[in-house]
Chain A
Amino acid sequence: MSNIIDIVAQVCGTAKPSHDSKKNETKMSYLERTYYGVLAVTVACFGWYFIDVFASTDLATADIREFTSRIWIMFGIYVVLVIVMAIATHVFDADAEDEFDERDSQIDMYAERICSYFQATALFGILILVMYQFNAFVVAHVMLAAIVFTTILGLAVRLYLYRRGV
């Protein structure tokens, strides 16, 4: 439980400086806190969308055109939330280091490589859906789910590698 509180305090930039050198050394970087924030925003925003859509829609007869405006609004909200979250993370920690070095590049590379396997699999799955003439609503939402899933996976892998090491 205290670990979760520590993570939340660090993400918010409100963690108190500790005299314990080990604790100070594990302070999150700006990038790491940003990834936690984007992960939370992604899960909340798209989680809400998928629950809302699938709870109130009959997949067999759904028409994608009815969801166009909702999808654009959701993307708009997502982009605004990510920008606000990134600015807030920076504002709440004036000492934040936002530089990007070789370790960040390496972590990025690993995460992107793992995501690329899932993207390729998802593309193949979508191709099958199109070949079997599933309706546009299903195809569009499988695409959206694939994008969301690879985004979440990429962020989770980055956060894991920052803690575990590369």
Chain B
Amino acid sequence: MVKPTSITNNIRTLRFMAGEMTQAELAEKVGLTRQTIIAIEQGRYSPSLEAAFKIAQTLGVGLEEVFQYSPQAPKQ
């Protein structure tokens, strides 16, 4: 039922590497709801460019370390 997406991400891993940051903390810092962070992690939503940059900045890494684009990528 989940829509397949070509964008994958490492947010879950990077959250743990950033002091075990919770989804709620990340959501608050980037100005999204926790449900949206969950949807992004599960590949059910591709964030706007601005939100993607904010997530990368909050996690202290570059954009390409957080998000990867691969047209043939299997859904998460």
Residue positions of A touching B, CB distance < 8 A: 25-29, 32, 97, 99, 101-104, 162-166
Contact = CB atoms under 8 A, between A and B. Distances in A.
A164 B32 contact: no
Interface in B1-38: 1-3, 5, 23, 31-36, 38
B72 interface: no
Contact of B5 (A28, A102, A165): A165
Contacts of B36: 101-104
Which among B33, B34, B38 has the highest number of chain A CB atoms within 10 Å?
B33
B53 interface: no
B33 A97 contact: yes
B45 to A, nearest CB: 5
Contact of A164 (B2, B31, B47): B2
Given A101-B36, A103-B47, A162-B35, 7 more contacts: A29-B35, A101-B31, A101-B33, A103-B35, A103-B36, A164-B44, A165-B42
Q: Which 8 A-B pairs have the closest CB atoms?
A: A165-B44, A29-B35, A165-B3, A103-B36, A25-B38, A101-B32, A101-B33, A97-B33
Contact of B34 (A97, A162, A165): A97
A163 B42 CA distance: 11
A25 B44 CA distance: 12
Contacts of B32: 101-103
Interface residues of B, number: 21
A1 B32 CA distance: 33
A103 B39 contact: yes
A15 to B, nearest CB: 14
B48 interface: yes
B1 A164 contact: yes
A25 B33 contact: no
A5 to B, nearest CB: 18
A101 to B, nearest CB: 5
A28 B35 CA distance: 8
B2 A165 contact: yes
